[in-house]
Structures are given as structure tokens and as C-alpha cells.
Amino acid sequence: MSRSQKTGFSKLLTIDDAMRKFFSYGVVHRIQTVEVPIVSSVGRVLASNLVTNIDLPPYDRSAVDGFALRAEDTLRSSENNPISLKIVDVVEIGTTPKVPVGRLEAVRISTGAPRPEGADAVVMIEHTAQKKDQVRIFNPISAWKNMIRKGEDVKVGDLLLEEGAEIMPQDVGMLSALSFSSIKVIRKPRVAVLSVGDELLKEGSEQTYGKTVDINRPAILSSLLQDGCEPLDLGIVGDDFGIVEEKVKEALEKNDMLLVGGGTSVGSKDIVPDVLDSLGEPGIVAHGLAMRPGKPAGLAILNKKPVVLLPGFPVAALITYSIIARPIIFRLLGSENIRNTGDIVKARLTRKIDSPPGIREFVRVVIRNKSPGFSAEPVTATGASILSSMVRSNGILVVPENIESIRQNEPVEVRLIRPLK
């Protein structure tokens, strides 16, 4: 008899209690850093605070195409009585101004070009009239108008991004501006995925009577790819204590985390929990969670590394991945900010939902855009084995432990698991 058969999940831990207990062992730490080119740093996690070491822009420059001049020269200009300035130079972007701007002088300047000495404002070309080497200005301009000052964008010592931030395209631009060509990020977590079960066939196999093609391993490997991990596929092994033990040991030597699926229910061949408990302390720290689907999910710590036991049913495995495994992955990345995988929409429930107390339930729903607003229709096939319900639904509605039912037409918040059409 397996461990779980003995205990029979008599005590279900709430998700929060299980996670708290798991993290209390203090073994999940941020992993190492790697240096990557800035362009490919997008989506990665910043390894240290980004503090600027230069001013941006690094020099005063024009914000427009026009004439750089001394603002005080324009004080008395008007539509009827424009002031005329002598054009003493032309500064294109990418060049260096050579001639300073003296009283009643101006320099033709391009957007982005550096401020010539003496000038303290730029009049837009549209607001001037040029005639040979003279330019007429029709309105007074205030000092520093249409100029971007040195350090106006960022100053030396500014904290721009905090350690643990996910790098976005705009940050890549900023890194370039700050003269970085590469940046330190957290290395991709190496997460091993193992399926256990005599009944499992490798993907691409024909469905065979009595056997079943492994659904969870490919789905979980692809989830890991999506979450910026480096998944290691340990394949499928049969229900053999020795082989599972060997695979688990191997996985924990070379990887940051292990996800092991199948054989974690109260089935007669349920050897995974026994293997995990035989390999050292503390072994399994939670098994049997107050969630639906996902009750057979579990958490273990071996070799000071996190192990998540995924339920065998595909829908339960996917929900356990996102609710239990993802927060651990984000700790490995040193990021408390768990990336969202879909928008949240507010919708009205099309029919009443009942949920047992003390259980967090994940209800698959179909969100439809029905004026006014969205409707959320619970998908009828609620069996954890009904994979098509995950493909046909487009959102997950979470019913917390303390809610026993949600009435028809009540407003709910639903996280999309597929973009709305």
C-alpha cells in the first residue's frame, strides 16, 4: 500500500497553508545570474537594481527643428513687429555646433542636435520666416523652450528599475541609452519534468487499448517554456520504484526543480510519494490539497530542491502547475511579481455554482461578449479528466475556500486562459 493510500488524504491542506509550510523550509532561493545581450534580455528578470551612471540626455539638445537663439532677444517681438536675427551657423543632428550664438544671432538647428553655446531656446521652424541669412521671429519665447536639458530624462544615481523586475521593450531602449550592450539577468530555471505510469505512451504514439498517450508532460513542458524556464524532459518511466528513484535523484542533481506527474493519486500503483519520502529529509511536506481539481497535488523538498507532485488528470495537472509550481518558479527567479498569463475580465455568471466549503475550486468558464458586458458560462463537463473543457473554455473562475456558492447573474472576475475573439 502506498503512502497516500495509507493516509488517504484524510487531512487536506489549504493551498495557502501548503505553500506557507513549503516556503518555511527556506530552501527556495534566487538562482544564479547570466549576462545576455540587451535585445534578448526582454522578458528576463533583472539581476540587480538599475541605477544610472550617466545623465540623459548627456547634453542639452533641441526638441524641434528650428532656430536656436537667446530667449531675451525675442522679448519685444510681435506679429506686427517681428525681430530679425542673423543666421550664423547650421547644426544638423549628429554634428557638433562650432559657432556660439551671440546677441541678435540664431543658429538653424535640427531636432536632437546639441545646443550651441549662448543659445537658451529654440523657435520652431513653422513659427519663423527666413530670408537669406536672416530669420524673423514673431513672438517672445521663454528660456529653455523647445530644449531638452542635460539630465532631464534621467540623472546620475536615479534608480530606474529594481532587481527582480521583468525587462520590457522600453527597458531595453533605456539600457541602450545608458550604453549597455549586455545586462545581467537571472539564468533560466532548469526544471525537470518526469511522467510516471505503466499506462503512458510517448506523444506521437497511436492511442492503444489500455494505454494512454502522455498529455501532461508535453503540456507542462510548454508551460515552462512560456514562463521563461529551461525545461528538461525526463520522459516517461513505468511504475518501478528503482527506476523512479534513479530518475528523481538524477533530476535533482542537475536541475533547480522537479515536476513529477502521474502516480500521485490514491491509486494502487502510487509509488511516487514513497520514492520521494525515501530519498531524505524532509521529503514530502504537503500532499493532498484543498483544491478542486488538483486534490492529489503535493509538495516535497529533496536535496534542498523543490519538487511538485502533479495530479494525473490533465486539467488538474495544468491548474496545479499554475497555482503551485509557478509561484516557486518565480521565487527561483528572485521575482515576487508573478507574470500574468491572461487578462482578467469582469463577467456575469450564467448559472449558479456550488462549491464545497474549505476547498478552492477552479471552474472552467466560457466568457462571451454579450452586451452589456461579458457573460461567464461554467463548462458543464467538470471532470478533471475532460481535457477538452480546457480547450473549449477560455477562462478560469476561482471560488475561494470561504465561498460555497455564487448565484446566477452575480458579477465575477475571471482570468482568461485564451485571448477573447
Site for its own copies in 311-340 (CB under 8 A): 312, 314-315, 318, 321, 336-340
Assess 172 for contact with its own copies (CB under 8 A). Answer: yes
225 belongs to the binding site for its own copies (CB under 8 A):
yes
Task: Tell whether residue 372 is a contact of its own copies (CB under 8 A).
Answer: no
What does the alpha-carbon distance between residue 248 and residue 307 come to, in Å, rounded to a whole number? 9
CB of 27 to its own copies, least distance (A): 25
Q: Which of 300, 294, 121 is nearest to 216 (CA)?
A: 294
- Binding of its own copies at residue 2 (CB under 8 A)? no
Query: Rounded to the nearest whole angstrom, what is the least distance from the CB of residue 281 to its own copies in the complex?
Result: 30
Indicate which single residue of 7, 385, 408, 409 sits in contact with its own copies (rule: CB under 8 A). 385
Stretch that binds its own copies, among 18-26, 74-82, 161-169, 352-360 (CB under 8 A): 161-169
**Which residues in 258-277 contact its own copies (CB under 8 A)?**
265-269
**231 or 306: whose CB is closer to its own copies?**
231
Q: Does 47 bind its own copies (CB under 8 A)?
A: no
Q: What is the smallest separation between the CB atom of 304 and its own copies, expressed in angstroms?
A: 28
132 is a contact residue toward its own copies (CB under 8 A): no
Rule CB under 8 A: is residue 148 a binding residue for its own copies? yes
Residue 152 interacts with its own copies (CB under 8 A): yes or no: yes
Helix H or strand E segment including 19 = helix 15-24
* Distance (Å, whole) CA 241 – CA 251: 15
Cα distance between residue 99 and residue 102, in whole Å: 9
Q: How far is the CB of 89 from its own copies (least distance, A)?
A: 13
* Alpha-carbon distance values, 211 to 198, 277, 309, 342 (Å): 8, 28, 21, 34
By CB under 8 A, the count of residues binding its own copies is: 113
The stretch among 127-135, 272-280, 308-316, 366-374 that binds its own copies (CB under 8 A) is 308-316
Paired residues of 406 in beta bridges: 353
Which of 143/391 has CB closer to its own copies? 391
Classify 334 in phi/psi space as left (phi over 0), alpha (psi -120 to 50) or beta: left
Q: Which of 27, 33, 34, 112 binds its own copies (CB under 8 A)?
A: 112
55: which 3 cell numbers?
545623465
The nearer residue to its own copies, 123 or 302, going by C-beta atoms, is 123
Q: Helix/strand/coil (H, E, C) string of 352-415?
A: CEECCCCCEEEEEEEEEECCCCEEEEECCCCCCCCCHHHHHCCEEEEECCCCCEECCCCEEEEE
Binding to its own copies (CB under 8 A) within 195-214 occurs at 197-200, 203-207, 209-214
Q: Which is nearer to its own copies, 112 or 327 (CB)?
A: 112
Q: Judged by CB under 8 A, does residue 93 bind its own copies?
A: yes
CA dist., res. 197 & res. 272, Å (int): 10
Name the residue nearer to its own copies (CB basis): 21 or 342: 342
Q: How many Å apart are CA 23 and CA 400, to the nearest integer?
A: 21
Q: What residues numbered 337-366 form the site for its own copies, per CB under 8 A?
A: 337-340, 342-344
The CA distance from 61 to 151, in Å, is: 11
Q: What is the spatial distance between Cα 412 and Cα 397, in angstroms, rounded to a whole number? A: 8
